[in-house]
Amino acid sequence: MAGGHWGPLLTALLAARVAAAAEGGPEQAALPEERSWVRPMTASNWTLVMEGEWMLKFYAPWCPSCQQTDSEWETFAKNGEILQISVGKVDVIQEPGLSGRFFVTTLPAFFHAKDGIFRRYRGPGVYEDLQNYILEKKWQSVEPLTGWKSPASLTMSGMAGLFSISGKIWHLHNYFTVTLGIPAWCSYVFFIMATLIFGLFMGLVLVVISECFYIPFPRHLSERSEQTRRAEDAHKGEQLQDAEEEKDDSNEEENKDSLVDDEEEKEDLGEEDEAEEDEEEDSPAAHVDEERSDGEPDPADTEAAEDTLRQRRSQHADKGPSA
């Protein structure tokens, strides 16, 4: 009977102790972290931004300016449904290929995408400015990234590959120097040797590919091509020789023509000289006649003068006796 009375009592005491232990135990488990509305973008899902309207932020964990805009970016992402826009972020350390595809050179960097057309947002990463940028459609006044600058172009795809390779090399260098403790100069020597070996290997691959795709011509075709080449060279030589001979002939004809012209000019000059000499010979005779006419009187003139004098004398004589 005693055992029957104490059984329920012991059970109640144990239950009270368990409740007290539960009240004095550790605090309640922490609430789960609030879900982020910003979508991380990687090289595998970045093509989602080609459809619809997006805003992207490129950041780095060590960048103080990027950390200052984190809260504003989260607030902007929460209101994405109201603004009808998706919000994403890209860690350039983890995704160097995407930073190369968008050619990000400063952090933080913001981009707006509308149906595959990208524009660079250069305003502050403040919620009010971002909201007005979408509501007032200020992005329409910004020149889009077109042509080779577009992240979807073939050029920027190659740039993404280069940035991705450089990021892997940087991670490998950190693994050698930080994790394994290898000196930095040893890591540099390793990369130099690897570059040389890789270059030689690629050259060998190109030579093999060229040998595989090279189709040699048959021997008779090669001989014919050699003969035709020689015939063409001989024909060209003959043409050049003929051209030189024609030039020589034309030069000789020109020289002959010039000589003939010179001779004709000399003959003309000789005839003119003879004519001048004849004129000079005639001119002295005329001068002599003129001198004679001026110096000595003509006999006919003297006789006429004497006749007139005689007539006058006779007239005076006749007049005298009559008077």
Catalytic-labelled residue, pool 63, 126, 169, 182: 63
Provide the number of structural domains found in the chain: 2
Quick check: is 252 in a domain? no
Q: What is the rounded distance in angstroms from the CA atom of residue 128 to the CA atom of residue 137?
A: 14
Q: What are the respective helix, strand and coil percentages of the chain, to the nearest 5? A: 70, 10, 20
Q: Are residues 71 and 125 in the same domain?
A: yes
Mean pLDDT computed over 51-55: 93
Q: How far, in Å, CA of 246 to CA of 236, rounded? A: 15
In a shared domain, residues 163 and 125 = no
Amino acid type, 110 = F
Indicate if 130 and 47 belong to the same structural domain.
yes
Catalytic status, residue 212: no
pLDDT in tens, 249-308: 777 777 666 676 667 666 666 666 666 665 555 554 444 444 444 545 555 666 776 777
* Residue 125 or 204, more confident: 204
What pLDDT digit, counting tens, does each position of 153-189 carry? 898 888 888 888 888 888 888 888 888 888 989 888 9
Comparing 279 with 239, the larger pLDDT belongs to: 239
Residue 66 bears catalytic tag? yes
Nearest-angstrom CA–CA distance, 163 and 58: 15
Domain assignment present for residue 262? The answer is no
Helices 184-213 and 154-174: crossing angle, nearest 10°? 140
Q: Are 145 and 119 in contact (CB under 8 A)?
A: yes
pLDDT band at residue 60 using 50, 70 and 90 as cut-offs: very high
d(CA 59, CA 70): 10
Q: Residues 94, 138: one domain? A: yes
Residues 124 and 179 in one domain: no
Give me 260's structure tokens.
């003939």
In a domain, 117, yes or no: yes
193 and 134 housed in the same domain: no
* Residue 104 domain-assigned (yes or no): yes
Query: Residue 86: in which H helix or E strand, if any?
Result: strand 86-91
Asked if 45 and 38 count as a contact pair (C-beta separation under 8 A), the reply is no
Evaluate whether residue 50 is within a structural domain.
yes
Best-predicted range by mean pLDDT among 174-178, 222-226, 244-248, 307-311? 174-178
Domain check: are 78 and 56 in the same one? Answer: yes
Structural domain range at position 184: 156-214
Q: With H, G, I as helix, E, B as strand and everything else as coil, classify residue 92.
A: coil
> Do 80 and 117 have their domain in common?
yes
Asked, for residue 57, whether it belongs to a domain, the answer is yes
Q: What CATH number does residue 72 fall under?
A: 3.40.30.10
pLDDT digits (tens, 9 = 90+) for 111-139: 999 998 999 999 888 889 999 999 999 99
The pLDDT of residue 143 is 92
Whether residue 160 sits in one domain with residue 142: no
Do both 138 and 169 map to the same domain? no
The two structure tokens encoding residue 185: 């100069």
Residue type, 141: S
Does one domain contain both 101 and 203?
no
Name residue, tokens 């020589």.
248
Same domain, 124 and 184: no
Highest mean pLDDT among 23-37, 137-151, 234-248: 137-151
Q: Whose CA is closest to 77, among 92, 91, 65, 88?
A: 88
Q: What is the mean pLDDT of the chain?
A: 77
- Predicted confidence (pLDDT) at residue 148 exceeds the cutoff of 90: no
Domain's final residue, options 115, 149, 183: 149
- The answer to whether residue 198 is domain-embedded is yes
How many angstroms separate the CA atoms of 44 and 94, rounded? 12
Tens-digit pLDDT profile for residues 14-48: 455 545 444 444 444 444 456 788 999 998 899 99
Q: What's the start-to-end Cα distance of the chain, in Å?
A: 239
- Confirm whether 55 is domain-assigned: yes
Q: Quote the percentage of the chain above a pLDDT of 90.
A: 27
Active-site residue, selected from the candidate residues 66, 98, 104, 160: 66
According to DSSP, the residues that pair with 54 across neighbouring strands are: 86, 113
